[in-house]
Structure 1
């Protein structure tokens, strides 16, 4: 199990629960950008915590880009442009509200900017072990017994493997950072209800591996772009 999924499944501490509660209230517009949070005494009374604990909560939310504290102004909600969507909590909270068209488009734009280059690098740097792992991922995606979640996980494992094969640890980390959004997106566009469509999706992913094995960087990048775009188009 990945760190991100383990963190999502384990019980939350009191600090984490309060951070999540306020974080979700910010993302859902209970506290709109530019507005102040309730004054400290109100928050202390609401959550039944110490002033020190509350300040740690606000510090955590500020580190995620959601809040900014200023003397004589108070603690104010930041404009969404400052929110750190590469923070696992912020992204998970956003996805928990539903993967809307805007979020899906933003995700595709970021993926298109990075993943084709990762595939191109994999074509240049892949090892025999990398190819074996990529072929294993393709075989896993071919399994006819998938449900939406398990196919999405197999799809994610493939994209992580491409990042690993790129030899660039930042490429490998990218899929892990946005894991929750990728799983939601892959589940939304899952082809498992149609064996023919599942075979088509698997073949498109296999084309990436074929290009990587052939050390054809341009073809690997183009095949990755096609996979990302077709996934977006299926929803």
Structure 2
């Protein structure tokens, strides 16, 4: 498993990371709802067997991510989710650990549709021959018939990260945590490699993005990216319907 997806399942974390993840996941899961206080220092120290120094660093981390706020004579309270930094890779991974709901998957798709088509359009104007070759390399990886779900997802992630790179916009590249989370959500429900026809269609749609970029056609690149993201949404919708029946 590559490092990109490892953070969602990794058990080899430091004490700081383990405690931050445990408390962060509890907050996101609603075990400590907005406005409530997290457990007292003594309780946390006993639960995790950590030092006060580690706990202080954990609380600083959770504060920086917008999950909690500490006030003198009040204690440490959980903030409303409107304060949470949902662009933070840790917060997203803790959300993944808690599980996906339909609303969260919808929000992920909406932010991708708002940003990635424009990134693809920028690529049509800015991508170098070397970057286009790298995109085609990702397409070849995705097209291998023997790929597992994880291997396909990793190749898919590399493709979209390379789109961000080739856009020439650092902020486009910075949303890779959002894309990664969306792909994890998607492949948890359904993967193109589960069905031969879906696999071929997914590869074809991604190839169309690169073809448009190489042709310097920004409008076509934008539309091809929309279709690719839309294909993923349709696949998830079908998976949800099968689950309901």
Q: How does 1:166-185 map to 2 (within 5 A)?
A: 166-175=167-176, 177-178=177-178, 180-185=180-185
Report how far residue 27 of structure 1 moved: 1.2
Q: How does 1:54-133 map to 2 (within 5 A)?
A: 54-133=55-134
Gap regions ≥5 residues in structure 1: none
**Conserved 8 A contact 1:91-1:180:** no
Q: How does 1:1-235 map to 2 (within 5 A)?
A: 4-5=4-5, 9=10, 11-175=12-176, 177-178=177-178, 180-187=180-187, 188-235=189-236
- Quote the residue 2:239 is aligned against: none
After superposition, give the CA deviation of every residue in 1:184-228 in whole Å (9 maximum; x if it has no partner). 134233111221221111111111111111111111111111111
Q: Give the secondary-structure state (helix, strand or coil) at the position aligned to 2:193.
A: coil
RMSD: 1.9
Measured in 1, the distance between the counterparts of 2:196 and 2:69 equals 50
Larger CA deviation: 165-174 vs 155-164: 165-174
Gap regions ≥5 residues in structure 2: 237-245
- Figure out how many residues of one structure are paired with residues of the other and give that number: 234
**Conserved 8 A contact 1:118-1:166:** yes
**Conserved 8 A contact 1:211-1:220:** yes
**Conserved 8 A contact 2:148-2:193:** yes
- TM-score computed with the length of structure 1 as normaliser: 0.91
- TM-score computed with the length of structure 2 as normaliser: 0.88
Larger CA deviation: 76-85 vs 96-105: 96-105
Measured in 2, the distance between the counterparts of 1:227 and 1:7 equals 26
**Conserved 8 A contact 2:4-2:154:** no
Judging changes above 3 Å, is the alpha-carbon distance between structure 1 residues 166 and 42 closer, same or farther for their aligned structure 2 residues?
Answer: same
**Conserved 8 A contact 2:15-2:50:** no
After superposition, give the CA deviation of every residue in 1:3-34 in whole Å (9 maximum; x if it has no partner). 64566647212222211111111111111111
